[in-house]
Amino acid sequence: METTKLKKFAQQARVTLIEQVATKLKFVRAEESLARRENPIAVKKLEELIKQQSEQEVVERIAYIWFNRFCALRFMDMNRYNRSLVVSAAAEDTQPEVLALAKAGDIDERVVSEAVREQILNLLNGRAPSQNPEAEVYRLLLVAYCNQWHESMPFLFQRIDDYTELLMPDDLLSSSSVLADMREAMPASACKDVEVIGWLYQFYISDKKKTMYLARLKKNEKVTPENIPAATQLFTPHWIVRYLVENSLGRLWLLNHPESKLADRMEYYIKPAEDNDDTDYLKVESPKDLKICDPACGSGHMLTYAFDLLYAIYEEQGYGAADIPSLILTHNLYGIEIDERAGELAAFALTMKARDRHRRFFNTDVRPNICVLEPISFDDDELDEYMDFIGRDLFTADLEITLRQFDEADNFGSLIRPELKDVAEVLEQLHAADVSGQLFLSQTHQKVLKLLKQADYLSLHYHIVVANPPYMGGKGMNGRLKAWSKKEYPNSKSDLFSMFVERCLGIVLDKGELGFITPFLWMFIGSFEAFREDLLSNCHITSLVQLEYNSFGPACVPVCTFTVHKKPSMTYEGRFIKLTDFKGENIQAPKVLEAIDQTDVDWSYKASTTDFLGLPSKPIAFWISDNIKKIFKNGVPFSKFMKPRQGLATADNDRFLRRWHEVEMRKTPLATYSGIDKWFPHSKGGTFRRWYGNNEWLVNWENSGSELKAFDKSVIRNEVDYLKGGFSWSDLTSSYFNSRHIPEGFVFDTAGPTAIQMQGVNAKNIFAFSNSKVFQELVNVSLQGMHYSNGVIGNTPIKKGVTSLQTDELALVDISKGDWDSYETSWEFKTSPLLKDEHRKSALKDTYIELRAHWQQMTYDMQRLEEENNRIFIDAYGLQDELTPEVPLKEITLTCNPYYRYGGEKTAEELETLLLADTMRELISYAVGCMFGRYSLDKPGLILANQGDKIEQYFEQIPNPSFMPDKNNVIPILDDGWFSDDIVERFRKFIKVAFGEEQYESNMQFIEQALGKNDKPRDIRDYFLKDFYDDHVKRYKKRPIYWLFTSGNFSALIYMHRYQPDTVSIVLNDYLREFRTKLNAYKDQLNAINISASQSQSEKNKSTKELDITNKMITEMEDYEREVLYPLATKQIEIDLDDGVKVNYPKFGKALKKVTGLS
């Protein structure tokens, strides 16, 4: 189904309806409002509801109600279920048909009461005063039709005689109204399938879902009960619905009725293997015996397709077409929800399915079995009095416990396990109780009956359970839900979805069938090991499809969909389909069908419970070969050779961690000169990179981390192994496992676990093995490119003899380290690679050609060495038939390799263009570093890199520099060379000194050509004005070391390590005011041109335009001085580099260029 228009409409409709309902509420609640006079009871109820909840919640609820009703009416209009079109216009008209008919005197007496008809006629004839009679008439008609549908669908069309009617949106007839937009988004073609209702529901709540996700991500907010539906609801793609229903309901029916032709219509049905024993199944004689439940039914997508399949079953069994819809809704389908609106839509969708098959279905009394769980609680006195009246013999301990289990049904939902087992029997007895004449007891009686009906839905009596359960890890759960989950679901508490799977096993009969779509985390990671054991001890997997990592768009998480039979079997071979090599949503379903049709395709597998239980932590690794299984059986765990160690968690990274370039080098052990070691190298994972690199962080480990240890929220793990060295990896990644050499002196993080060498072990070989294809293949058994935990790494089998192999790990590390250190974001950076003697020539173009050839050779050497490393371990493990040693260029993790650096599907020419441009930008950045004295052409490495460094410290190290650094730590960036130390002039000087004056012009042309686009050079000044600072902020990961003071037309750069309290005054007095003085002088020249008799008119016109621009610049700078820079200069602000850029940068407020996350 095409959903683009539906999404746009639903999201905009939510905003519009909430605004309109909120506006209406304001008028209704006004002291002298018409509503208070004419509908005082409704207004009173409304205000009581606002007190219980909140005004925002009430507004959202009413907006949601009207959205659902409008969409339902549109669907019925397009299918001609309404007698007249209620929200749709007849052909060639723009107004709803019911309004057009009413204006013509045609008002349906079966729908509209006589009193309302008279009201309508009076409004249309002008006998009743109204500012907008047509709008009032349409409101009356809309209410009448909604009330008419109350008889058939009370769950969606509650009788409108309360505040819901008072808050009906006003603008329903204009061309920009919600109804007009709905007609555009829901044409007749979209309304052929009731699936459209589910998509509208998902899109309507999508913005709220996104808002809550961001709140959880940024503010660590927990999901409250009222927000659980929006946070967890996902509309299941139709092919997955078909797969689940066909392999649960369809499978059970075919096991009972092998003669059935049902399989012919089940495209996604996976036939059991012939050598499996399928004789022990749940016996079902009649279709009426089948009970199918979706305990998280949402808008009913699973149930509506189950309806279609059941219809075919009944039809095949010879039931009458007119009887089948009622039989299905009465006997077969059950849905449970906590979201009232979703439950309404599920019931509506099933009703529409029934009406589509039976024209007179609306005349029946049949209603869908959809239960919306509500919190129900009792006072002790209330229950005591009720039990005394009914008779305490009936109220067993189990019943009393059950009556207390639904206090938080909106929070726990279908996870509630009623203590009472014979709910239906107790319900029958209580229904027979006579409480007439007992006003208060009657209310309690109704609450008890309602609660037990909810409990009955949650009891053990279903043959089939299918669900797309909610996904929510412990971090998102509110306190009550999290505590309750730990108590009730100790083995599956990691996520709501796993608790739901466990719960569903409790409501399906033995030998019943279940189907789910869930994140595939449970298949692999250690925290779900107990859950896997429970699942496999109660069931066996009959089929499973593992989708490609990013192919389930609605969830933004990797998922699998699977079916199980509720009876354990060690030998039953289920069918497994692995789609991880097929990128994109649209290709998943075709590849599943291909695997079903051709069982010998590469992505189709068979596996049994025995295969899983024989592996460490029992992952559902269905694809592995017998050879891999033997390796796990006979190998020695990694943890016997190296100690995988998780490091510290600061619980406040902003306080305890810094990018290395933020602090003083003399306060780190990285400095070659004496100082206080406060900031230590910190291994913290990072992007996909092998062998060496990602050394970007420092941690406050002064006095062995005394401050960090004093912080009660921090966690210090494995301190005894800090500073020892080893190899580290990124704990969380969607890419391949990638480990990096960590020299001695590092403290490691929870996000960058480290393997520490054990005595007598050849750690170099283990490190080389960890970056091999064999290691990845073995690690994949226990996870799929997500969370490389210590447990998984520690269980990876090492084959005997591996530690004595001859590997070239040192060469791989050397190449990777050389690449990492070639960029100024490395603390061991010495100089621009373009200025190294082995590459530098007088012509920059020739220099780059030489350097590029060197980089290519490095990349090819690295590729050759990595492939040889793979070959060594493939041979050692005997996996020549399963793995090949080749490594594609995009996986050679050198920054100088454009295939890795830029990725994607770019051409070689595009990659080369990007690499050349970035190399020139890096040269420019290094030149600016030389301008500030951070670097020097005369000495490798850092020069001025401590707080408050002055030019004198530079001259102590380099008495006679070939390129002079800026003396006052301020470099202007302006639209022309107004100052002698202008950044462009300084850069030109740098190029002359670095490469000589002979090739200066061609060198500048080469730089500007590289910075340009489409073969057009870019002026170097234009680059400095527009892009240099953004590039700098990006290069330094939003922790810039050069800070840009800017008013817009005036800009000046400073170096934070050389900052002094009077630096702002220098920017103000020596540059801003001086520039304004020069502009005023320039303005005088322009005025002189304007009054000169010798100047042409064109010259005067040009001068006038330039004068206007200059005046605006002067005004802007005057404002900047008065409001920003002068007040700041008077403060003589101090900074402390230990505080980091995130604290220091904002101290200067609007004086500095805005940087997201800093300003």
pLDDT digits (tens, 9 = 90+) for 1059-1099: 999 999 999 999 999 999 999 999 898 888 888 888 888 88
**N residues, the chain:** 1159
Spatial neighbors of 575 by CB under 8 A, at least 6 apart, are: 270, 273, 542, 543, 544, 599, 604, 605, 606
Q: Which amino acid is at 987?
A: F
Q: What pLDDT score was predicted for residue 756?
A: 93
The residue behind tokens 């999404």 is: 7
Q: Beta strands 747-748 and 697-700: pairing type?
A: unpaired
Indicate the pairing of strand 726-729 with strand 754-757: antiparallel
Percent of the chain at pLDDT exceeding 90: 78
Q: From CA 756, how far away is CA 643, in angstroms rounded? A: 5
Q: Does pLDDT of 217 surpass 60? A: no
Phi and psi (nearest 5°) for 554? -60, -30
- What are residue 353's phi and psi, to 5 degrees? -60, -45
pLDDT value at position 218?
Answer: 53
Average pLDDT over all residues of the chain = 92
CA-based torsion, 1071, 1074, 1080, 1086: positive or negative: negative
Judge contact between 382 and 444, C-beta under 8 A: yes
In the sheet where 726-729 sits, what is the strand order? 642-645, 754-757, 726-729, 739-742
11 Cβ neighbours under 8 A, 6+ residues apart: 203, 204, 206, 207
> According to the model, what pLDDT value does residue 438 have?
80
Q: In this structure, how many other beta carbons lie within 10 angstroms of the beta carbon of residue 1124?
A: 19
What's the pLDDT band for 786 if we cut at 50, 70, 90? low
CB 300 within 8 A of CB 335: yes
Q: Partners of 347 in the beta sheet?
A: none
pLDDT(891) > 90: yes
Classify strands 726-729 and 739-742 as parallel, antiparallel or unpaired. Answer: antiparallel
Out of 298-302, 548-552, 832-836, 1044-1048, least confident range: 548-552
The letter for the amino acid at 932 is F
Q: Is the pLDDT of residue 785 over 60?
A: no
- Provide CATH code, domain 217-373+461-623: 3.40.50.150
Among the listed residues 373, 400, 401, the one whose alpha carbon sits nearest the alpha carbon of residue 386: 400
Range 935-961 average pLDDT:
95
Average pLDDT over residues 1117-1144: 95
Closest to 872 in 3D by CA, of 799, 934, 925, 936: 799
CA atoms within 13 A on the CB side of 199: 19
Contact 515, 563 (CB under 8 A): yes
Mean pLDDT of 1095-1110: 89
At 1067, is the secondary structure helix, strand, or coil? Answer: helix
Per-domain residue ranges of the chain: 4-192, 217-373+461-623, 380-415+422-457, 637-851, 908-1151
What average pLDDT does this structure show over 694-709? 95
> In which band, very low, low, confident or very high, does the pLDDT at 555 lie, cut at 50, 70 and 90?
low
> Is it the case that residue 556 has pLDDT exceeding 70?
no
Least confident of 22-36, 319-333, 672-686: 672-686
pLDDT band at 1111 (very low <50, low <70, confident <90, very high): very high
What's residue 761's pLDDT?
A: 85
Question: Residue 335 pairs with which residues in a beta bridge?
Answer: 294, 370
Q: How confident is the model at residue 398 (pLDDT cuts 50, 70, 90)?
A: very high
The predicted-structure confidence for 994-1012, as pLDDT tens digits, reads as follows 999 999 999 999 999 999 9
Does residue 96 register a pLDDT over 70?
Answer: yes
* Span 592-636, pLDDT tens digits: 999 999 999 999 999 999 999 988 889 999 999 999 999 998 999
Q: Is the pLDDT of residue 214 over 60?
A: no
Q: Is residue 576 pLDDT above 90, yes or no? A: yes
pLDDT tens digits along 452-485: 999 999 998 999 999 999 998 888 899 999 999 9
* pLDDT for position 90: 87
Q: Give the span between the Cα atoms of 406 and 739, in whole angstroms.
A: 50
Beta strand spans in 480-534 (E)? 508-519
Average pLDDT over residues 1017-1034: 96
What pLDDT score does 759 carry?
82
pLDDT of residue 437 exceeding 80, the answer is: no
Angle at alpha carbon of residue 1065, lines to 1059 and 1070, rounded to 5°: 105
Q: Are 679 and 668 in contact (CB under 8 A)?
A: yes
Paired sense of beta strands 292-294 and 754-757, if any: unpaired
Of 558, 611, 600, the closest CA to residue 577 belongs to 600
| Overall average pLDDT of the 808-817 stretch | 95
Q: Give the neighbor-by-neighbor strand order of the sheet with 559-565.
A: 369-372, 333-337, 292-294, 462-467, 508-519, 559-565, 540-546, 574-578, 604-607
Average pLDDT over residues 649-659: 95
Q: Look up residue 929 and give its two tokens.
A: 């570093």
Q: Both tokens of residue 1097?
A: 């008119």
For the whole model, what pTM was predicted?
0.82
Q: What is the pLDDT of residue 280?
A: 87
Place 320 in a pLDDT band, splitting at 50, 70 and 90. Answer: very high
* DSSP symbols for 802-868: GGGS---HHHHHHHHHHHHTTSTTSTT--S-GGGSTTT--SSHHHHHHHHHHHHHHHHHHHHHHHHH
Contact 733, 770 (CB under 8 A): no
Q: Which of 420, 423, 522 is nearest to 469 (CA)?
A: 522
pLDDT category at 94 given cuts 50, 70, 90 is: confident
Of 3-17, 249-263, 430-444, where does mean pLDDT reach its minimum?
430-444
- Where do we find the tokens 């049905």? 269
Residue 1159 has pLDDT above 80, yes or no: no
Looking at residues 253-271, what average pLDDT do you find? 96
Q: And the tokens for 871?
A: 């070959």
Return the pLDDT at 205: 86
Helix (H) or strand (E) holding 1030, with range, is helix 1028-1035
The residue with tokens 């050759």 is 864
The per-residue pLDDT for 233 is 74
Residue 1119, helix vs strand vs coil: helix
**pLDDT surpasses 70 at 419:** yes
Q: What is the C-alpha radius of gyration for the chain, rounded to an integer number of angstroms?
A: 36
Q: Are the beta carbons of 546 and 580 closer than 8 angstroms? A: yes
- Write down the pLDDT at residue 213: 62
CB-based burial label for 777 (10 Å; 0-12, 13-18, 19+): buried
Q: Which residues does residue 508 pair with via DSSP β-bridges, in sequence order?
A: 462
